[in-house]
Chain A
Amino acid sequence: MAETLLRIEDLAAGYGRVTILRGATLAVAAGAVTTVIGPNGAGKSTLMRAIFGLLPPRAGRIFLAGEEITGLGPRELLRRGVVYVPQGRNLFPELTVRHNLELGAAAFRIPDLDARVEAMLDRFPLLAERAGMQASVLSGGEQKLLELARALLLDPALLLIDEPSLGLSPRTTAEIFGILGGLRDRGVAILMIEQNARSALGMSDFGVVLDQGRVALEAPAADILADPRIGRLFLGGGIG
C-alpha cells in the first residue's frame, strides 16, 4: 500500500446510548481514492463525522500524516488540510453561488480569498456562469459541484466525501466521479462513502467494507470488486 495519510485505530463512536462504530481500524493512502462501502447502519457516516470532529470518539485514535488528531474539531482539521462534504444538500440555498464559495473559508482569514474564488470559478466554468444566481436554482449535480468547489477552496490534502452520488442521475454521478478522479491525479487523497458501490470502487484505488461498526475487509478496490462475498453483503447477509 502507498504511504498512509490517515490512520484510524479501533475507533468507536455513536449517538446517545447507541454505539454505532465499534472499533474500526483502517488506513487512507496519500494521493489515492479509498471508498467505504457497507450496508445501511454499518457506521459509514458515523465514521466520517468522528474523523472530522463532529462526533466525539468514544475510543480509539486517529492519525493524520503520523500526527494524532483524535478529538480535534472541524476548524483544526480544516487548518490541517482535511475537508468534509457531508451527505445530501449542504449549501446555503438563499445565498448566491459566489457567496457559497466564499463561505468555504468562513472559519479563516485568507488574504487572497477573492483570487481563490475566481480561480475556482475558472476551474468550474459551469459555476462561473451561475456565480450571481441563488444556489437554490442549481440542479442537484450543480449543487454537488458547488459543494466540491467550496471544499477545494482551502486546497485540501484529504477530502472526506459522504455519498456524492445521492439523488444524482447516473450521468451526473459519472461527472462527479470524474472530478474526484482528477483531484486524485492532483495528489488529493479522498475517503469516500458510497452506496453506489460498483461505480465507486471502479474509480477507487482501495476499498473498505464496513459491517456492524467494524472493518470487515480492507483491500485494493479491484480485489473487492472481484470478491463474491461482497454480493452477499449487499443482499442482506454479513461477510462470513
Chain B
Amino acid sequence: MTGRRLAAVAAGLLVAALLLLLPLTLRPYGLYLMSLWAVLTIAAMGLNLTLGYAGQVSLAQGAFVGIGAYAAALLTTAGWPLGAGLLLGVGLGLLVGWLLGYPALRVQHHYLAFVTLGANTLVFLVLRNEDWLTGGVYGIAAIPRPTVLGYPTDHPLAFYYFCLGVLLLVGLGLGLLLRSPWGRAFEALRENPVRAESLGIDTRRYTLLAFAIGSAVGSLAGAIYAPLVQYIDPSPFALGLSLALLLMVVVGGAGRFFGPGLGAAIAVLLPEWLRFSEGLYLILYAVLVILVLVFLPSGLVGLADRLSARARGEGR
C-alpha cells in the first residue's frame, strides 16, 4: 500500500469513527446539528453533481429540498410511510429538475443562474400560496419520524444514524455514478460541451440528466429534513437555502467528492463554534468564508490536496 493510500485509509477510518462515536457523547441539540449536517451534505452532493461535475449553475437546489420535504410531510402526516414520501419527493425532483434543465440548453453561466433563481422563487411561491395543499405560511406540523427495519427513530440519536445511513447510500450511489461513463460525460460537459460532442457525448441529454439527478438528490435530502425538524413551512426553502448550498459546494470544493461534506460542516458547525463572539459571529463567519474563497479557489479539499502534495514533496 502506498503512503498516500495509507493516509487516505487512516483519514477515512478517523472520520468514520468520529461520525459513529462522537454522537454518543452529544446532547439532543448536538445530535440535531449532526443530523442537519448529514441532510445538507446530501443536498449539497446533489448540487455538486449539477454544478461541480457537470458545470451547470443552479440557484434552485433549496427549492428541490422544499419539494422533497413537502412530499414527505404531506404523505407521512396522512399516514403513509416515509418510504412513499421519499419516492414521491425523488420522483418530483427528477421531473421538475429535468424541466429546469431545458433552459440550460439555451443559456449558461449567470443567465442560467437567474433562470434557476426564478425557478426557486416560483416553487417558494407555490409552497406559500397554495395553502389548500401545503398549509401556506402555517406549514405542516407533527411530521412523524419513520420506523426503519423495525426500529423507531424518534430518539435524536436513532434519527441521526438513519440520516447517516441515507448519506452513506447516497454517497455510494453517486460514487458509482461518477465512476461510470456518466460521470466522465458530466466532466467532459463541464470542461467543454463542444469538445464533449466530438467524443460522442449527447450534451443535451447529459445537461438534462445533470439537473434531474442533482435535483432529485436535493429532494431526497428534503424528504429526510421534514422528519428531522418535524415541522415545515415555506420559509427555509427560499433563496437563502440555495445560496447556502452553493456556498457549501464551493467552499468544500466544487467537483470534488468530499467537498460537500466539508462545506456543509463549515456551514453548520462554524456558526455554532463562533457563538462565543455573540453579535460578531456572522461577521467573522462571512470574513472566514471570503478568505477561503480568495485563497482556496479549489475549496477545502483543494487545500488538503495541496498539503498532502507538500508532505509528499518533503518526504522525498
Contacts and interface: CB of A to CB of B under 8 A. Distances in A.
Interface string A83-106: 011100011101100010011111
B187 A95 contact: yes
* Count class of interface residues, chain B: 10 to 19
Contacts of A90: 195, 198
B185 A107 contact: yes
Interface string B167-206: 0000000000000110011011001100111111110000
Interface stretch (A69-77, A163-171, A198-206): A69-77
Given A105-B181, A106-B196, A107-B181, A92 B201 contact: no
Interface in A58-81: 73-75, 77-79
A44 to B, nearest CB: 16
B27 to A, nearest CB: 45
A109 B192 contact: no
Contacts of A52: 198
Nearest to A91: B195
Binding site of B, secondary structure by majority: helix, strand, loop or mixed? helix
Interface residues of A, number: 27
Interface of A: 52, 54, 73-75, 77-79, 84-86, 90-92, 94-95, 99, 102-110, 150
B199 A103 contact: yes
26 contacts: A54-B198, A73-B200, A73-B202, A74-B198, A74-B199, A74-B201, A75-B202, A86-B195, A86-B198, A90-B195, A91-B195, A92-B188, A92-B191, A102-B184, A103-B184, A104-B199, A105-B184, A106-B184, A106-B185, A106-B187, A106-B196, A106-B200, A108-B181, A108-B200, A109-B180, A109-B181
B187 A103 contact: yes
A75 B188 CA distance: 14
Contacts of B185: 106-107
Given A73-B202, A75-B202, A92-B191, A54 B184 contact: no
Nearest to A54: B197
